[in-house]
């Protein structure tokens, strides 16, 4: 079986060295030395400040929402967040979980990101925040989104789950917005098995979030506000440190696969239009097929050959009933029905790629 994703497993001896230290110290969680080390190293590697590690990427969204205070009802009614329907369910469910009503606006048909031209028209008196997604790591129209946010005095939280290591105009894409959240799930290029992070614009927001993820405690025995337990453990930080040590090799291998696909399919299929001011993270390789039936036929043809693919992101979130009733976002619905992601991970060899390419082309 050729899997659509496969976690990077770092050198076992290096991991054992970190685990030995954990056993010697007996310090398993509560902001241990490895969490602190990983925080410092990620800040340096990514080129960011005010980074907070958490237990997973969904918690990162929820904590960012709570920290920035955008979940507070207005006029006796729930707050609203303008967001994209073309994303993983966690983007919208994190909002709904915090009592915020997602307001979906359609996507650009080429970048597949939230279309900034629709954002201003979606602002209502209940709007507190804009939550765009850097889809597949492709940078949003950050300047236009920021302009709308400033005009209407809104916060911006970027779901940057796929944007690890992506730069925009020479600086980390994660520096845009009031906060940007990351997922370090096992299938991501950088992972901690399970984990996540928030990059805050302001130091005071980081300080508040540090308190929130520790049950709202500012010190032992003193609880200043309602909090949650969202801390990363030392064991997860150990994996993250080892994976970070090998990121250059991991990314080079992923880039090689991505470029092979691009050469094979660039003239045959519609591909995502990349923001020309942004670098690439080589996280996914999505194809936009001509129809949903062509997608289903391609999936079946590949599955018969032992090749796993996945529909990211399906269905369009404006059609998910548990999120409420929303106006149909035509471009997102059409795009979600036709997107197919091919296997992309560091362990794919030439024979795998040739088999996948031939299978997609039906030869």
Residue 223: which H helix or E strand, with range?
strand 222-223
Placement of tokens 């560091």 in the chain: 346
- Residue 82: is it exposed, middle or buried by C-beta count within 10 angstroms (0-12/13-18/19+)? buried
263-283 per-residue burial string, b: 16 or more CB within 10 A, e: under 16: ebbeeebbbbeebeebbbbbb
Distance, in Å, from the CA atom of 53 to the CA atom of 34, rounded to the nearest integer, reads: 11
Tell me the two tokens of residue 60: 């990162």
Tokens of 263: 């050469």
Domain boundaries, the chain: 12-245, 247-361
DSSP H/E element including 147: helix 142-152
CA-closest candidate to residue 64, choices 170, 194, 196: 196
Distance CA 310, CA 305 (A): 15
Strands, E, within 63-138: which ranges? 80-83, 101-104, 127-131
Which sign, positive or negative, has the C-alpha torsion 174, 175, 177, 179?
positive
Residue 62 CA, distance from chain mean position? 13
d(CA 34, CA 234): 6
What's the confidence (pLDDT) of residue 353? 97
Q: How far apart are CA 317 and CA 133, in angstroms?
A: 13
DSSP helix/strand/coil, 221: coil
Distance of alpha carbon 301 from alpha carbon 39, whole angstroms:
44
Question: Token digits for 280?
Answer: 């690439």
pTM: 0.97
- Those residues whose C-beta lies under 8 Å from the C-beta of residue 7, and which sit 6 or more positions away, are 186, 187, 191, 193
CATH class of 247-361: alpha beta
* Topology, domain 12-245: 3.40.640
Residue ranges of E strands in 56-186: 80-83, 101-104, 127-131, 155-159, 167-168, 171-172, 179-183
pLDDT at 248: 97
pLDDT tens per residue, the chain (363 residues)?
999 999 999 999 999 999 999 999 999 999 999 999 999 999 999 999 999 999 999 999 999 999 999 999 998 999 999 999 999 999 999 999 999 999 999 999 999 999 999 999 999 999 999 999 999 999 999 999 999 999 999 999 999 999 999 999 999 999 999 999 999 999 999 999 999 999 999 999 999 999 999 999 988 888 888 899 999 999 999 999 999 999 999 999 999 999 999 999 999 999 999 999 999 999 999 999 999 999 999 999 999 999 999 999 999 999 999 999 999 999 999 999 999 999 999 999 999 999 999 999 986
Which pLDDT value is given to residue 38?
A: 98
């Amino acid at each position: 079986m050729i899997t659509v994703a496969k976690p990077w497993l770092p050198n076992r001896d290096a991991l054992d060295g970190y685990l030995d230290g954990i056993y010697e110290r007996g310090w398993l969680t509560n902001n241990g030395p490895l969490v602190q080390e990983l925080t410092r190293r990620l800040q340096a590697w990514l080129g960011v400040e005010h980074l907070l590690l958490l237990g997973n990427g969904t918690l990162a969204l929820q904590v960012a929402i709570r920290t920035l205070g955008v979940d507070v009802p207005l006029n006796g009614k729930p707050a609203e967040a303008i967001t994209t329907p073309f994303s993983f369910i966690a983007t919208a469910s994190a909002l709904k979980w915090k009592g915020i009503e997602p307001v979906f606006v359609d996507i650009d048909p080429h970048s597949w990101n939230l279309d900034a031209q629709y954002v201003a028209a979606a602002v209502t008196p209940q709007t507190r925040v804009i939550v765009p997604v850097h889809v597949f790591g492709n940078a949003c129209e950050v300047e236009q989104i920021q302009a709308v946010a400033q005009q209407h005095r809104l916060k911006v939280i970027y779901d940057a789950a796929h944007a690890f290591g992506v730069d925009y105009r020479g600086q980390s894409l994660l520096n845009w917005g009031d906060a940007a959240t990351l997922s370090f799930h096992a299938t991501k290029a950088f992972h901690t098995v399970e984990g996540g992070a928030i990059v805050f614009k302001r130091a005071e927001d980081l300080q508040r979030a540090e308190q929130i993820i520790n049950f709202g405690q500012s010190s032992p025995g003193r609880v200043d506000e309602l909090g949650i337990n969202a801390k990363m453990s030392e064991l997860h930080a150990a994996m993250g440190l080892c994976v970070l040590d090998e990121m250059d090799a991991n990314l080079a291998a992923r880039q090689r696969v991505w470029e092979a696909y691009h050469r094979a399919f660039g003239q045959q299929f519609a591909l995502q239009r990349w923001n020309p001011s942004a670098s690439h993270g080589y996280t996914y390789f999505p194809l936009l097929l001509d129809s949903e039936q062509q997608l289903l036929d391609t999936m079946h043809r590949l599955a018969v050959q032992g090749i796993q693919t996945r529909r990211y992101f399906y269905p369009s979130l404006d059609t998910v009933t548990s999120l409420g009733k929303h106006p149909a976002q035509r471009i997102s619905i059409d795009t979600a029905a036709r997107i197919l992601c091919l296997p992309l991970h560091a362990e794919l060899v030439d024979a795998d790629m040739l088999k996948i390419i031939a299978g997609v082309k039906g030869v």
